[in-house]
Structure 1
């Protein structure tokens, strides 16, 4: 079961494989909000962690795909055992990096050894020495010249998830999102789950003025087709001005606008809005 780590009332995914499983197998998109270590000063391509909407986290837990965990001592100073483990990990990574660099350099030299031998042979000929160069001995000589890797010029590995063991506790979805039982929270979650069960991809729609954006396929390949606005209940009165504004907004962003609510039979109901030009 995939762990969702909760911090300040929001669930996050830190592991890349877990993120891929959630997206490919369960059609939950989330939102990457972290910075890529290699390019920290750009915001076009965010990295881990992935933040989940309340509805996304609730559905993953309810369907049995994930569980909610919370660190119990995340603000505590590291113990001596944890500090020792961190130092051992640092030394191991440095050794692995050193071996990898040496192997790569030897591979590069081996591919260029014929050029090196030809250069040495030419130099010897110019000095009047007609003896042949020993290719293997020359290769070993070049390997011995390799500058060893130092801690100062080694690469720093930044994990995408916490690599250290921590105490955690299981929490329930009610602990994470107590407002999901409120009127609008219940409606939003019911609408999200209904759309998900119909096979759609569903993401947050706040940037377009709605509650959800609905895609026919993965958002990487498809544009959103629907923009959904949830009502508290079927008897909520929505003004004509709001209907017109929401309809015109949908037209401007090329989306079909949808009003969603729970009817008197406790079923999710959808009402689409279409914009027509009238000729007088």
Structure 2
């Protein structure tokens, strides 16, 4: 069993928390764009309140531990490891509750190169205790606006976790898909559930648009978020995201393995 102290040390050593790779400049830019309701950073969330840049700095200081000083405009951003640990405990709690009632879940990620293994291990554990892990709309085309224009991707699943990848991409080099913030993949997946006449998920687990897009539609959602992803924390503050765990979401994929063990143990899902 991984102790809280050992995980805290790992969070700091791997730069999942503490001073992280995300810069203050990147975070402030995201806060400005969110305040302007730019869809690239609202991630499918339609905020109920008017969130100005200073409001977002205050929120992120409270939820993540970043500096609350608007005058700090450069350097690495900082995530309080205690807030990460608290978020992981809450995250595990929601997984444990769904597992106890053999609920219906859906997993999806916009960070497949980094987080696929983390989510896949959780999907495997929930499936093993009798939860239904949904994989609807396999192969469906999703048109997503990128900085290169509108690109068409396919919605696919790897070990029960949804991701999008280039049309026609196959093989080991493409198995982890592409990075996206869009809420369109979760909308396509949920449309597939409705069309198939199956049950909607009781819980969506993921990041970026998967969490905000599901939460906006009234489906419980939990996920991971970096300091430049204010939408998940706004969603949590407004009651449409159940849990947003603050951490760096783009470190090496193997650095998330201790988090997997910790969450599975806390959720009573360790095998």
Q: Which category describes the TM-score, using the shorter chain as reference length?
A: under 0.3
State the TM-score, normalizing by the size of structure 1. 0.23
Point out the structure with max Rg over C-alpha: 1
